[in-house]
Amino acid sequence: MLNKNNRAARLSLLAASLFCATASMASTATAGQLKIGMEITYPPFESYDSQKNIVGSDPELAQALAKQMQAKAEFVDTKFPNLISGLNAGHYDAIISGMYITPERQTQAMTIGYAVTGAAIMAPKDSGLNAQTPEELCGLKVGLEQGTTWVAQLKKLSTEYCVPNNKGAITVSEFPSAPEVTQALLSKNIQAQMEIAGAAKMIAEHTNGRVVVTSQHLVYPQTLGIFVKKGNDETYKALLKAFDDAKKSGDYAAILKKYNLEEASN
């Protein structure tokens, strides 16, 4: 039989376990679930495979975080421009959706940087376009997914560089999703597409070589973030701890390596 000291130690251990589990569950809106908002049309970050499973770097990161929080990751498919409003409306606990951290977005939500990537420039293979930098897009029609940070950056470049230097304005067209931008490119409604680098490579492969990535280096490199509603300190702290634990476990490093991403510095 256990002596009094052993029984007391076991009871203390059990109480501590229950406290940790309860604290973990209390850190999300629904006990035992970590609800993540993402637009699931954005490979390799998030997409549906042929069996309708949600796959990609962001779902894997979400699952790694949920594991550390003793919760199950649940995904809420939401159009990219609506993700932050959905977060602030309480539709999910956090956003992990290939979304860059920007000063504007940091006024709307708390952030945790998890990877560094950047844009790539794409063009039809037979177009003769070989743009390496945004400056080489002057005078062209360029398509982007609605809500991306590059819309404002290209418009600023057009106004402050292209037009004053008589290189022609950049005509920016926004589309609801990345596949729709590529379709416009193939239909010759636009001349170039700017897309996040990992997705650009995959898009080019899916077109069987009809679209190519022209840029050799990352364009406008930025940090991808986990977004949490302002004031939701409990969830934010729980995700920070889970992120640190995922680093210690090796899960985070494995995801970075698998998807050719660079570690972010917070």
**pLDDT per residue over 228-239, tens digit each?**
999 999 999 999
pLDDT in tens, the chain (266 residues): 445 445 544 544 444 444 444 444 457 878 899 999 999 988 889 999 999 999 999 999 999 999 999 999 999 999 999 999 999 999 999 999 999 999 999 999 999 999 998 899 999 999 999 999 999 999 999 999 998 889 999 999 999 999 999 999 999 999 998 899 999 999 999 999 999 888 898 889 999 999 999 999 989 998 999 999 999 999 999 999 999 999 999 999 999 999 888 898 76
SS3 84: helix
User: pLDDT value at position 201?
Assistant: 86
Distance CA 94, CA 97 (A): 10
User: pLDDT value at position 131?
Assistant: 98
Question: What is the token pair recorded at 132?
Answer: 């390496």
CATH class entry, domain 118-220: alpha beta
Q: State the number of CA atoms in the 13 A half-sphere of 237 facing the CB.
A: 9
Residue at token pair 């590059």: 150
CA 82 to chain centroid, in Å, comes to: 14
What is the dihedral angle through the alpha carbons of 64, 68, 71, 77, rounded to the nearest 10 degrees?
-30
> Would you kindly state where each structural domain of the chain is located, as residue ranges?
33-117+223-259, 118-220
pTM over 0.75: no
Overall fold of domain 33-117+223-259:
D-Maltodextrin-Binding Protein; domain 2 (3.40.190)
